[in-house]
Amino acid sequence: MKIGYARVSTADQSLDLQMDALNKAGAERIFSEKQSGGKWDRKELQRCLDVLRKGDTLIVYKLDRLGRSAKQLREIADDLQERGIELVSIQEKLDTATAMGRAMFGMISVMAELERDIIKERTQAGLEAARARGRKGGRPAANPQKVKQALVMYDSNQYSVAQITEATGISKALLYKELNKRKESSQA
């Protein structure tokens, strides 16, 4: 049986490209999720790996969809090989059923880890450069007057939360955070 696995890192990304490619490659069943590849405990990946049986083929769009570190990819590949399951990566044109495919897998998994490390280094360097110029990350602090206005509106019981956030420009999360703070301080 050919089983596909698709993954994107964030909820706002689309799985469509991967799903189309997996279907075209003949995947009879596809597991998909929106989760960081750096995480080991991906629910759908685990379900996918549990379903695979000897003689099956796991198909992924790219190896970095399966895992982001060489160690993680190696562990998955070793497990698949021990269980008699082949691995196919569409983009890399990789098939572990061949000696060349297994060799390429090792090289590509190292490159996937390198790419992830370079992205981390660039992000850190960018954050440090911004801090050196006096910038901080995160959202700017909310206007205290707007927060106070939102609380007064909430207490009046005349406005919905949506109306309050629209009128004041503060987020729903901040409104609830401030309400919880107030509640905690009154209980103390």
CA distance 181 to 185: 6
Three-state SS sequence of 45-64:
HHHHHHHCCCCCEEEECCHH
Residue type, 65: R
CA distance 144 to 150: 10
- Active-site residue, from 9, 14, 171, 186: 9
Annotation marks residue 160 as catalytic: no
Q: Residues 15, 42: contact at Cβ < 8 Å?
A: no
Q: Which residue has tokens 């000897």?
A: 54
Q: Residues 56, 85: contact at Cβ < 8 Å?
A: yes
Q: Residues 25, 52: contact at Cβ < 8 Å?
A: no
Q: Is 65 exposed, middle or buried (0-12, 13-18, 19+ CB in 10 A)?
A: buried
**Residue numbers annotated as active site:** 9
